[in-house]
Amino acid sequence: ATAHGQGHETAFSQIVADRLGVAFDDVEVLHGDTQVGPKGLDTYGSRSLVVGGEALVRATDKVIEKAKPIAAHLLEASVDDIEFAGGRFSVRGTDQGMAIGEIALAAFAAHNYPEGIEPNLDSEATYDPVNFNFPHGTHLCAMEVDTETGAVKMRKYVCCDDIGNIINPMIVAGQVHGGLVQGIAQALWEEAVYDDAGTLVSGSFVDYLLPTAANTISFDTDHTTSPSLTNTLGTKGVGEAGTIASTPAVVNAVVDAVRHLGINDIQMPCTPERVWKAIQGAGAGGAEPTEGAAMPHFDEAQPGKDSTDGHEGAPQ
Identify the pLDDT of residue 12: 92
CA dist 46 → 9, 12, 42, 179, 242 (Å): 15, 15, 11, 12, 12
- The amino acid that residue 227 corresponds to is P
pLDDT of residue 131: 82
Question: pTM for this one?
Answer: 0.79
User: Between the CA atoms of 147, 149, 155 and 158, what dihedral angle is there, to the nearest 10 degrees?
Assistant: 80
Q: What pLDDT is stored for residue 112 in this prediction?
A: 76
pLDDT tens, residue by residue, 152-205: 999 999 999 999 999 999 999 999 999 999 999 999 999 999 999 999 999 999
**100-108 vs 53-75: helix axis angle to the nearest 10?**
80
Which structural domains are found in the chain, ordered by start? 8-108 (3.30.365.10), 136-284 (3.30.365.10)
The pLDDT score that the predictor gives to residue 314 is 39
- pLDDT of 130 reads 84
User: Who's near 74: CB < 8 A, 6+ residues apart?
Assistant: 98, 103, 106
Query: HSE (CB half, 13 Å, CA atoms) of 24?
Result: 7
Q: State residue 300's pLDDT score.
A: 46
Which residues are CB-neighbours of 308 under 8 A, at least 6 positions away?
315
**pLDDT value at position 219?**
95
Instruction: Report pLDDT for 287.
Output: 54
pLDDT digit string (tens) for the chain, length 316 residues: 777 778 888 999 999 999 999 999 999 988 877 777 777 677 777 788 899 999 999 999 999 999 999 999 999 999 999 999 999 999 999 999 999 999 999 988 877 788 888 888 999 999 998 888 888 999 999 999 999 999 999 999 999 999 999 999 999 999 999 999 999 999 999 999 999 999 999 999 988 988 988 889 999 999 999 999 989 999 998 888 899 999 999 999 999 999 999 999 999 999 999 999 999 988 766 555 544 444 444 444 444 443 333 333 433 3
Among residues 303, 302, 255, 250, which one has the least CA distance to residue 282? 255
Query: What is the pLDDT, as a whole number, of residue 116?
Result: 82
